[in-house]
Amino acid sequence: MAVLITDSCINCDACIEECPATAIVSADESPLENGEYTYVKPEKCIECVDAAVPKCADVCPTEDCIVWDMPYIAEYNDYFVFSDRYVIREHKKKGLMSPDVNPMPWRESIPMEQREMNVSVGQTLKLYN
Ligand code: SF4
Ligand code: SF4
């Protein structure tokens, strides 16, 4: 990832259009079984590394709705592949787009402890950006 949309999401879908990586889908298109909320695909999220702030969190009207999760890199492969928070896309030719096959850019400025605690993106950017 990645960033994670939590259950305080109101499904306004405002973040979907803002994402430069087309990583966000509405609840209707969530790959999670019984997915109730707008969903970020960690295998596509680039953490908006080239922008001042993640676009999704910038536009979100719900405070602290979008939180950090672990970087989408090989070190966290099992976390993403076996988590019930995510369903990673299976590519027809390349297979599962797991972190060890398809690592994504991530913001090294965000401390791992903050990611482990799923701290709000809005809060951490004030401190670490
Ligand atoms: S952090 Fe950026 S790339 Fe990731 S879901 Fe949000 S808008 Fe998309
Ligand atoms: S902008 Fe925020 S509240 Fe709206 S769908 Fe996205 S995460 Fe949910």
Q: What is the pLDDT of residues 82-126, one digit of tens each?
A: 999 999 999 999 999 999 999 999 999 999 999 999 999 988 876
The whole domain housing 105 covers 3-128
Q: What's the pLDDT tens digit per position in 36-90?
A: 999 999 999 999 999 989 999 999 999 999 999 999 999 999 999 999 999 999 9
The structural domain count of the chain equals 1
Q: Are 86 and 96 in contact (CB under 8 A)?
A: no
**pLDDT the model gives residue 123:** 85
Query: What CATH number is attached to the domain comprising 124?
Result: 3.30.70.20
- Cα of 47 vs centre of ligand 2, distance in Å, is 16
Task: Give CA separation, 88 vs 2, 6, 10, in Å.
Answer: 13, 18, 23
pTM for the predicted model, two decimal places:
0.94
Q: Which ligand is nearest to the CA of 5?
A: 2
**pLDDT the model gives residue 129:** 55
**Structural tokens at position 14:** 């405002």
Strands (DSSP E) contained in the chain are 3-5, 24-25, 39-40, 66-68, 90-91, 95-96
**pLDDT the model gives residue 18:** 97
Question: What average pLDDT does the segment 22-39 reach?
Answer: 97
What is the position in ligand 2's atom list of the atom closest to the CA of 26?
A: 5
Please count the residues of the chain.
129
Q: Is the pLDDT of residue 1 over 60?
A: no
- Cα of 93 vs centre of ligand 1, distance in Å, is 25
